[in-house]
Structure formats: C-alpha cells, structure tokens
Amino acid sequence: MTGGFVICEYERVKEAFPEFSNTMKALRSSMIAKAEADWGIPYAGRAKTDFMALGVSPGPGLDVKAGTFGETTITPALFNNMAAARLVTWNQWLTATGHQTIMTGAASGATIYEDYKLGVAGFAFLDKTIRISEIKMQISDKKLPRINIEEAWVYNKPAIIFEEGFILDEETGFHLYAYVVSQGPSRIKPIGLQLNRIYDKMLTNVGAALL
C-alpha cells in the first residue's frame, strides 16, 4: 500500500520500520534521475566505485567537481520558521496555539530556493515535550492529509516515516502546518536528503543563509 506512514522512535527507525532503507533508496534514486534530467549534469556519486562495490549505487556525492552536483543532509537555512524568519538550526519557538504554519520554504512565495532539491522521507520531533497534535504538509498546490500524532507523545523523540518519500523541488512552494497545543521551544526536523547544484553555495559559513 502506498501513501502510508508509521510513527516510531527516531532512534529506532531502522528497527521499527525496516522498509525505511528501501524508502530512502527509492527516493534518492528518483531525485538523482530528476536532477540529472533537469540540471543537465551528472551526480558526483556516480564516480564512487568503492561504494558501488558495496552495493551503494550511485555512491555518496558530498565531494563534487565542476560539472556535477552533490548531496548533503537537509539544511535548516532553506526554511523559514513560524515567525517567517530563516532557520539556522531546527530550533524554533512556537508563539501561538491552534492551527499554525510552522515551517515554509525560505525563498520568495514560501518556495524552495533554486539550485536545491530536497527529498523528505519523514519528520523527527526532537523534544521530550511535543507541543503539536497534528501536522499537514502542502507541496505547491498539492495538499496532503492531516496526520494526528498524539500517540507519539509517549515516545522519546518520535518520528513519522512515510512509505513513499516526497520531493520538494526547487522554486516549489512548501508549507508545514500544525495544530499547536502549547507555546514554547520546538525542534522538528525533516528526515531525508538534499541535492545541491552549485558546490560553492555549500561552502559558505555554517549557519549562513543559503540562496
């Protein structure tokens, strides 16, 4: 069945959801294929023969060269928080209760910046106190169903893992809505990967805004 999800503890994602590796592998492969078609350059990891020998194909693409694109973890600086301020870490302060927009793309119109493609396989809630009871994600004009996460309140650092990942394409709108039950600190982190077309943009100071 597609379009499903599982709630489990973040530290036990692989144990509680063994299909996660297949979800990430399929998401990564589809993202790389899309990026190579859209950007007209190859993925840097295709040259990593050592990883291919281990069954990881293409290999990790962190170290890139001219004419290729690379891969990193998802960077907070590509998102705005509830206060429409650029995230530096996944920490933010929830300042109001009820239905709220708690995360958006940081570029104009709440979009993902050009030259980046993000693959989201789920979300991790990294606080002992979870201050939201539901989430709902919107990608461009596609609205995804609400997910109630109250059962996650009993977990230590719970995570929602999707059966199929979602691609947040460059210059595409992204909104994460939540029903906030209490004000205070919150750390909500997308689980997945990020493809970067321009290497030099990722060499700026850590915590700096990305464009």
Rounded to 5°, angle at Cα 155 from 150 and 160: 65
First to last CA, the chain: 38
> What pLDDT does 16 receive?
65
> What pLDDT does 25 receive?
87
- The model carries a pTM of 0.90
Binning the chain into helix, strand and coil, the percentages to the nearest 5 are: 25, 40, 40
E-state strands within 48-183: 70-72, 79-80, 91-94, 98-105, 116-125, 132-139, 142-143, 147-148, 158-168, 174-180
Has residue 211 been placed in a domain? Answer: no
Query: Which domain range does residue 19 map to?
Result: 7-203
Could you give the number of structural domains in the chain?
1
> What pLDDT does 54 receive?
80
Q: Would you give the DSSP letter of residue 209? A: P
| Residue recorded with tokens 């059966």 | 163
Has residue 1 been placed in a domain? Answer: no
Q: Would you give the DSSP letter of residue 41? A: S
Has residue 60 been placed in a domain? Answer: yes
Which CA distances in Å does 200 have to 39, 63, 65, 86, 160?
16, 11, 10, 20, 33
> What pLDDT does 12 receive?
75
Has residue 2 been placed in a domain? Answer: no
Has residue 27 been placed in a domain? Answer: yes
Has residue 122 been placed in a domain? Answer: yes
Identify whether the C-beta of residue 186 lies closer than 8 Å to the C-beta of residue 132: yes
Tokens of 113: 């910046």
Has residue 19 been placed in a domain? Answer: yes
When computed from its CA atoms, the radius of gyration of the chain, rounded to whole angstroms, is 17
Q: For residue 10, give the nearest of 130, 149, 114, 161 by alpha carbon.
A: 161
Instruction: Provide the residue-wise pLDDT of the chain in tens; the chain has 211 residues.
Output: 356 888 888 877 767 677 788 888 899 999 999 999 999 999 998 888 888 888 778 888 888 888 999 999 999 999 999 999 999 999 999 999 999 999 999 999 999 999 999 999 999 999 888 999 999 999 999 999 999 999 888 888 888 989 899 999 999 999 999 999 999 999 999 999 999 999 898 988 888 888 8
Has residue 75 been placed in a domain? Answer: yes
